[in-house]
Amino acid sequence: MTDLVALKAANANRCLTPERLRQLLHYAPETGLFSWLVARGRFAKPGSAAGTLHQVKRSKSPYIRIKIDGRSYLAHRLAFLYMAGHWPAGEPDHKNTDTTDNRWENLREATPSQNQANRKVRRDNKTGIKGVFYIARDKKFCAEIQVDGRQIRLGYFDSPEAAAVVYEKATKRYFGEFGRAA
């Protein structure tokens, strides 16, 4: 099976070069905003902000997209191309989990597993604690973590707080700076 990450990078590489990006756009790393250097149609005038807010279907998070030469790109990926001169090898990760905050200091390359570890607690989580769920049959709280696509059961606990402590230790152990417990 072809490595999906390498395939994405190779596909993106064929389309837009850092040189072409810098001809069209200015990126301000301290604010994370892109602005047009050239006129591009009715709305894109030199100096105007580039990009529009879109909700990505699979993640339900808003991202900024910028259309260049008939193709749409995510702004955080363009920031990597602009600053590093190449497409990110893995997935760009927003350190603070705000997917619209594209400041250079807030972006880092991550594996898909690291990127998932940096997510906030899901809205449908009934305990409100990441990695912890209640098993009614056993009247226990279970802590579980996913690492490289496989589930690791961390144990059963009498309280959600005890399970949360174990999950927090595990996320730091497996993911280091990418691990987010809340």
pTM above 0.85? Answer: no
* Domain CATH for 39: 3.90.75
Tell me if 86 is assigned to some domain: yes
Sorted by sequence, the CB contacts under 8 Å of residue 62 that are 6+ apart come out as: 53, 54, 55, 56, 99, 100
Q: Give the end of a domain, one of 110, 129, 156.
A: 110
Let me know whether 19 and 98 are in one domain: yes
**Per-residue pLDDT tens digits for 123-171:** 888 888 999 999 999 999 999 999 988 999 999 999 999 999 999 999 9
Answer for the pair 55, 68: CB distance below 8 angstroms, yes or no.
Answer: no
Let me know whether 52 and 83 are in one domain: yes
Tell me if 42 is assigned to some domain: yes
Average pLDDT over residues 12-39: 90
pLDDT tops 50 at residue 102: yes
Tell me if 115 is assigned to some domain: no
Let me know whether 97 and 127 are in one domain: no
By residue count, the chain amounts to 182
DSSP designation for 160: H
Segments forming the whole domain that contains residue 131? 121-178
Q: Which band of pLDDT confidence, cut at 50, 70 and 90, is reported for residue 4?
A: low
pLDDT tops 60 at residue 118: yes
Mean pLDDT of the chain: 88
- Helix, strand, coil % over all residues of the chain, rounded to 5: 30, 30, 40
Tell me if 116 is assigned to some domain: no
Quote the number of domains for the chain: 2
pLDDT tops 60 at residue 20: yes
Let me know whether 89 and 39 are in one domain: yes
Q: Give the end of a domain, one of 110, 141, 163.
A: 110
Q: What would the two tokens of residue 59 be?
A: 């993640």
**Per-residue pLDDT tens digits for 48-94:** 999 999 887 666 789 999 999 889 999 999 999 999 999 998 889 99
